[in-house]
Amino acid sequence: MRFQVVILAAGKGKRMNSDLPKVLHPLAGKPLLAHVVTTARELAAERICVVHGHGGELVRRAVTGDDLVFALQEPQLGTGHALQQALPQLSAAPLTLVLYGDVPLVRADTLRGLLAAAGKGIAILTAELADPGGYGRILRNKAKRVTGIVEQKDATAAQRRIREINTGIMVLPTAKLKQWLPKLRNKNAQGEYYLTDVVALAVKDRVPVTGVVAAEAAETEGVNSRVQLAQLERLYQKRQAVRLLEAGVTLADPARFDQRGMLGCGRDVAIDVNCLFEGTVELADGVSIGANCVLKDVAIGPGTRIEPFCHLDGARIGAGCRIGPYARIRPGTQLAAEVHIGNFVEVKASEMGEASKANHLAYVGDSTVGRNVNIGAGTITCNYDGANKHRTVIEDDVHIGSDVQLVAPVRVARGATVGAGTTVWRDTPPGGLVLNPKSQEHRADWQRPRKPGKNKS
């Protein structure tokens, strides 16, 4: 079936109380409009036309691709007027599917059903709402056939009691649409050109009109306020959580789970509460993620445990590692198997070999660390001279004591031991002990300073 998509996205979204155009507000970390474009692509639309107005260039730049064309609607005189602006961009595809840039959760399957229902006529996605206030109502005759749509503001009291509403999503025959649009008039309560008026024109032309009731009313909900945006965010996160649970992932609480990107999980992965996954995250078999972790663009090997309160970004973590609690892993980090990173340790742009450990309070930056290395508490790689970054190399089996500074560029060769409190600023040979000679004194006559007037302790 050949069809194209027009996404209406020119509206202002006054009730968002925001400088950001409504369709650019993020849901699961991605602009509302981008969700709609993704769905249109899933359907394999032959062209996607975005009608934009408010936020002009910002909206254009938010979504990209060869399949996208844009139509500017300025000023915004209604949904019918919006489609008129898209006309010059429409292809010869026989069907045109109209989507809203602020209705992000409509599912591709639902739209496939709508396209199939259209045949050579119109198909309107409708919903039965307990509270239909504010929406356009679907008018049907005695034979239950759709005869028109009336906007809330133009409706009679009897029409306002109708609970079947227009979601705004519809499929139209392109050639007919081109004939109907110029006939729209704006003699209505809002002085707008309503796309919904084409339905009555279609009925007059004996073009069949089908109303398809959405199975899940929630997927047709639009975002008009931040309250609705927050509600749809939760709905979206719940869908993702349920998908993971069904695939065999343990989620301590599906209501306290946020995925803003792609999350791949192996078998028997466990995720505790309040974790956030961004970008592309891959968790291998048996990985467990403790409470309150943020993971962005990371791949984690089998059996690795991330303890609570860790922040991982742009890293590859091997199998059987133990990270945290309170660890920060920054971009460009690669940890081999069985590495231990403990509390208040920051690792940046560094590789660490198998079974190496930095268990407490350390900064490992721009470093190449070998296998079986122990990095003591308070160790700092001094990688920045104020202008440039330099690398630190720590070879296999090195033992670094507590409170050591490694002034890069520097290399600690295989098997060496670096004494506590040492500043290493020259390369060291393999084995042996590296230390800065220091002396220790004891002054027996030394008086601790006292506050004036206080003689007794």
Catalytic residues: 360
- Summary count for the chain: helices (H), strands (E): 8, 35
Show contacts with ligand UD1 in window 64-93 (CB under 6 A): 73, 76-79, 81-82
Q: How far is the CB of 185 from ligand UD1 (least distance, A)?
A: 13
Q: Identify which of residues 201 and 369 has a Cβ nearer to ligand UD1 in the complex.
A: 201
Q: In a 10 Å sphere around its CB, with 0-12 CB exposed, 13-18 middle and 19+ buried, how is residue 350 labelled?
A: buried
Residues 181-200 vs ligand UD1: string with x where CB under 6 A?
-------------xxx----
CA 20 to chain centre: 17
Q: Identify which of residues 82 and 400 has a Cβ nearer to ligand UD1 in the complex.
A: 82
Q: How far is the CB of 198 from ligand UD1 (least distance, A)?
A: 10
Q: Identify which of residues 88 and 453 has a Cβ nearer to ligand UD1 in the complex.
A: 88
Residues 284-323 vs ligand UD1: string with x where CB under 6 A?
----------------------------------------
Q: Identify which of residues 63 and 300 has a Cβ nearer to ligand UD1 in the complex.
A: 63
Instruction: Confirm or reject binding of residue 104 to ligand UD1 (CB under 6 A).
Output: no
As a whole number of angstroms, the distance between CA 202 and CA 146 comes to 10
Q: How far is the CB of 42 from ligand UD1 (least distance, A)?
A: 19
What's the chain's Rg over C-alpha atoms? 31
Q: Per-residue DSSP letters for 229-243?
A: HHHHHHHHHHHHHHH
- Alpha helix positions (H), 68-222: 79-86, 108-118, 157-160, 174-180, 198-204
Q: Identify which of residues 183 and 389 has a Cβ nearer to ligand UD1 in the complex.
A: 183
Residues 218-257 vs ligand UD1: string with x where CB under 6 A?
----x-----------------------------------
- Out of 100, 236, 257, 363, name the contact with ligand UD1 by CB under 6 A: 100
Q: Identify which of residues 70 and 135 has a Cβ nearer to ligand UD1 in the complex.
A: 135
Q: Identify which of residues 127 and 265 has a Cβ nearer to ligand UD1 in the complex.
A: 127
CA of 268: how far to CAs of 66, 188, 272, 316, 325, in Å? 40, 59, 13, 20, 21
Show contacts with ligand UD1 in window 369-388 (CB under 6 A): none
Q: How far is the CB of 73 from ligand UD1 (least distance, A)?
A: 5
Q: Identify which of residues 11 and 173 has a Cβ nearer to ligand UD1 in the complex.
A: 11
Instruction: Confirm or reject binding of residue 21 to ligand UD1 (CB under 6 A).
Output: no
Q: How far is the CB of 126 from ligand UD1 (least distance, A)?
A: 9
Tokens of 400: 């670094």
- Out of 51, 244, 373, 418, name the contact with ligand UD1 by CB under 6 A: 51
Provide φ and ψ at 208, rounded to 5°. -65, 140
Show contacts with ligand UD1 in window 120-179 (CB under 6 A): 135-136, 149, 151, 165-168
Output the residue with the shortest Cβ distance to ligand UD1: 136
Going by C-alpha positions, the residue among 420, 368, 374, 371 that lies closest to residue 394 is: 368
Instruction: Confirm or reject binding of residue 180 to ligand UD1 (CB under 6 A).
Output: no
Cβ 410 vs Cβ 392: under 8 Å: yes
Q: How far is the CB of 141 from ligand UD1 (least distance, A)?
A: 19
Q: Identify which of residues 98 and 251 has a Cβ nearer to ligand UD1 in the complex.
A: 98
- Which segment (2-10, 332-340, 402-410, 437-445) binds ligand UD1 by CB under 6 A? 2-10
Q: How far is the CB of 275 from ligand UD1 (least distance, A)?
A: 33
Q: How far is the CB of 83 from ligand UD1 (least distance, A)?
A: 9
Q: How far is the CB of 85 from ligand UD1 (least distance, A)?
A: 9
Residues near 197 by beta carbon (within 8 Å), at least 6 away in sequence: 80, 149, 184, 185
| Contacting positions for ligand UD1 (CB under 6 A) | 8-11, 51, 73, 76-79, 81-82, 100-102, 135-136, 149, 151, 165-168, 194-196, 222
